[in-house]
């Protein structure tokens, strides 16, 4: 088999955690077809003591335990000695920068990613400062460990690898699809939400599919989709609208939508 297009190494104290999430759908297929290789590393294998200790009490006398730096440094050094290209090393952390679609698209261009999963009170800060290239959060909430966050990053990145989606969908039309803003083309911005989707039956419990979608008029359907995407973004994520340059038609729709939705 040809070498995988991208290798993702995950370092965790719970290697068994990942047996489920990567064995379905797009992720499973991407591994089977050699687009991606996911390697899970047990942090305890990189400890040097009899008890395979990965954590210790925090300096300063707070509650809880902190993941020690030595096993994490050793794990990354071990991974980097495998002859893989030096890719991004990412520490999953509630204190990190927000992981968003433009970054997922950037990661999809890398040949190698290393994801470090924290636990307990977190990870010795020297890992963030001197080992990781990025400290990333998947949202403004606190998880019990970095494993779920790592799985989220893997999923979001792998589905953007060319060939991963097959015929199932196109990432171009999806929510948050990054675009180059004319004023800052080098820093991709995050796009609007996707439009709503419907399937058969056309009427379900007296709830009918919007008329435009069953009209057969492709131009009308495209227009409906663009307007509904705008409406959904305005309702659910008005923050996204602030950075998207709307064309004249969209500006007019937005004014109409705001009027329609006035209390």
Ligand X SMILES: C[S@@+](CC[C@H](N)C(=O)[O-])C[C@H]1O[C@@H](n2cnc3c(N)ncnc32)[C@H](O)[C@@H]1O
Does 144 sit near ligand X (CB under 6 A)? Answer: yes
CB of 146 to ligand X, least distance (A): 3
HEC string for 170-235: CHHHCCCCCEEECCEEEEEECCCCCCCCCCCCCEECCEECCHHHHCCCHHHHHHHHHHHHHHHHHH
Q: Which is nearer to ligand X, 119 or 231 (CB)?
A: 119
DSSP-derived secondary structure letter, 164: S
| Contact string 192-231 vs ligand X (x = CB under 6 A) | ----------------------------------------
Q: Which stretch binds ligand X (CB under 6 A): 11-19, 70-78, 102-110, 140-148?
A: 140-148
What is the torsion angle, in degrees rounded to the nearest 10, for the CA atoms of residue 251, residue 139, residue 73 and residue 52?
Answer: -160
Does 146 sit near ligand X (CB under 6 A)? Answer: yes
Q: Please report, as residue ranges, which positions from 80 to 109 form the binding site for ligand X (by CB under 6 A).
A: 92-95
Q: Which is nearer to ligand X, 65 or 244 (CB)?
A: 65
Bridge-based pairing state of the strands 36-42 and 6-12: parallel
CA–CA distance, 201 with 214 (Å, rounded to integer): 11
Residue count at the site for ligand X (CB under 6 A)? Answer: 20
Taking CB under 6 A as the criterion, the residue among 76, 113, 131, 149 binding ligand X is: 149
Taking CB under 6 A as the criterion, the residue among 138, 154, 156, 171 binding ligand X is: 138
Q: Which is nearer to ligand X, 98 or 180 (CB)?
A: 98
CB of 114 to ligand X, least distance (A): 14
Q: For the chain, first and last CA: distance in Å? A: 60
Q: Please report, as residue ranges, which positions from 108 to 137 form the binding site for ligand X (by CB under 6 A).
A: 117-119, 121-123, 137
Q: Which residues contact 99 (CB under 8 A, 6 or more apart)?
A: 136, 137, 138, 149, 152, 153, 156
CB of 104 to ligand X, least distance (A): 14
Q: Which is nearer to ligand X, 31 or 95 (CB)?
A: 95
Provide the CA 164 distance to its chain's centre, in angstroms: 15
Taking CB under 6 A as the criterion, the residue among 34, 139, 166, 245 binding ligand X is: 139
Q: Which is nearer to ligand X, 5 or 119 (CB)?
A: 119
Does 240 sit near ligand X (CB under 6 A)? Answer: no
The CA–CA distances, whole Å, from 20 to 153, 159, 163 equal 15, 17, 22
Angle (CA) 253-237-176 rounded to 5° is: 90
| Burial (CB count within 10 angstroms: exposed 0-12, middle 13-18, buried 19+), residue 86 | exposed
The residues binding ligand X (CB under 6 A) are 92-95, 117-119, 121-123, 137-139, 141-146, 149
């Amino acid at each position: 088999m040809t070498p995988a297009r991208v290798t993702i190494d995950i370092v965790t104290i719970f290697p068994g955690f990942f047996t489920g999430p990567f064995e379905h759908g797009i992720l499973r297929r991407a591994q089977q077809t050699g687009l991606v290789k996911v390697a899970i590393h047990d942090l305890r294998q990189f400890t040097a003591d009899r008890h395979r200790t990965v954590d210790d009490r925090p300096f300063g006398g707070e509650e809880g335990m902190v993941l020690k730096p030595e096993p994490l440094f050793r794990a990354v050094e071990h991974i980097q000695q495998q002859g893989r290209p030096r890719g991004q090393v990412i520490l999953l952390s509630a204190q990190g920068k927000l992981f968003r679609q433009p970054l997922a698209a950037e990661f999809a261009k890398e040949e190698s990613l290393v994801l470090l999963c924290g636990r307990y009170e977190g990870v010795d800060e020297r890992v963030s400062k001197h080992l990781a290239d990025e400290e990333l959060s998947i949202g403004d909430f606190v998880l019990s460990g970095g494993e779920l966050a790592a799985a989220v990053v893997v999923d979001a990145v792998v589905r953007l690898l060319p060939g991963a989606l097959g015929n199932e969908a196109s990432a171009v039309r999806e929510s948050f699809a990054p675009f180059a803003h004319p004023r800052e083309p080098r820093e991709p911005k995050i796009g609007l939400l996707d439009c709503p989707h419907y399937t058969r039956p056309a009427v379900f419990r007296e709830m009918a599919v919007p008329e435009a979608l069953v009209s057969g008029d492709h131009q009308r359907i495209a227009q409906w989709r663009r307007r509904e995407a705008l409406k959904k973004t305005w309702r659910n994520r008005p923050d996204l609208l602030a950075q998207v340059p709307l064309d004249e038609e969209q500006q007019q729709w937005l004014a109409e939508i705001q009027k329609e939705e006035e209390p």
